[in-house]
Structure 1
Amino acid sequence: MTVVVRLKPLPRWWVWRPGADRGAAVRLARQRARRGRSRVLLAVAVPLACALVVLAPSWWSAVLLAGVPFLFTGAILLLPQRFSEWDVVVAAAERDVVHCEQFDDADQRRRARKLCEHFLAVREHADSARLAHVEALLWQALVALRDSLPVRDALAHADNRPGLAAAIAEQTRALADLDRRVDRFAAALRVAVEELDPELAASALRRVAALDPL
């Protein structure tokens, strides 16, 4: 699934770039899971091996017994590594996925999540071809919101000095324009969700597809 919103066990959402190759993220998530498991197992195997060496009746038996915990550790590490879809998400590059933890600003995080929720609701009764286009627009809107976060933070802490006034005003106008476009896109999505008549819902979705969130 490309767009995911989950409330349990933790409220999380993420959106994969349409057509993104998740193979590299899956491999990285598997490696991280293996490293995490190995750290836990070694934390148990090392003291256990030391205890066996101390308790062994002879040097030969000590050498043999000391290797047993590490053999078990190696055998366990050969088993398939279990990891969640969220592990794959956080392992992926930013160019491939947008997710909730990339949004430090709570308001923008909620705003982005609402877009995802509207899209998921629209998907239930939408034409697949038009839905793919709307999904691409959703991705563009979320990336734009994510990329605007450093600018928003900089503007919030900027000193309105004479030399910076023009730059601040220009960035403020650009953000305001982005917000208007994203809000218009969100409103159109919401209308498509709330429309009960299938024909009117399809018409509303066509209007969504005609918008440019950027």
Structure 2
Amino acid sequence: MVDKLSDPIGRLMGLRYKSHPWHGIYIGKNAPEKVTAFIEVVPTDTVKYEIDKDSGYLRIDRPQKYSNVVPALYGFIPQTFCGDEVGKYCMEKTGRENIKGDGDPIDICVLTEKDITHGDILVHARPIGGFRMIDGNEADDKIIAVLNNDVVYEGYKNVSDLPPIVIERLKHYFLTYKDMPGKDNDTEITHTYEVEEAYEVIQRSITDYQKRFDNLGKLLY
């Protein structure tokens, strides 16, 4: 699927129509070591934007509660799907049962020292780790990456290299950003994992995507 969606025909079609950020953007030839990320939300946003899966446009998901804002660029990795393989890997690593993927593309937060003022953009990112997050009985992994060639963060090769405060801020955001008045939050982060596990999660999500959207490739080609 990845190779099919990256050939010249697909790229020419992208000149005529806006590519769907989930299905029409190439993940990158060096994935999972380097990936393209579609950014939905940036630290200055006071509402949470989320991709509309049908149209591919950004929509308002919800206002951020209190002063809780994302501490990094936040979005997803195109041509990935959090499905059976990602859920299975989560069960292997946690010893839990009956965990399934959440049915979304894999989320990614991208660290950079630059002030990026709006989302709906593509960036090249290098994964260095992630959070094994479970929401109810669903795997909801968050890949942690650095902006490719970023002056400050380029030297970080593994999540364990980051200052602890960076990890704490990211954890706090992901554990609280779904808080809504009158609703219980059944979200937890069981592990902070390093770069090799991040690669495995991404690779499994690519496999899940190919299984889930195999017919999409057949329709395009």
Whether TM exceeds 0.5 here: the answer is no
Question: Computing the radius of gyration over CA atoms, which structure comes out larger, 1 or 2?
Answer: 1
User: Which structure has more strand as a fraction of its residues?
Assistant: 2
Question: TM-score by structure 1 length?
Answer: 0.23
Question: TM-score by structure 2 length?
Answer: 0.22
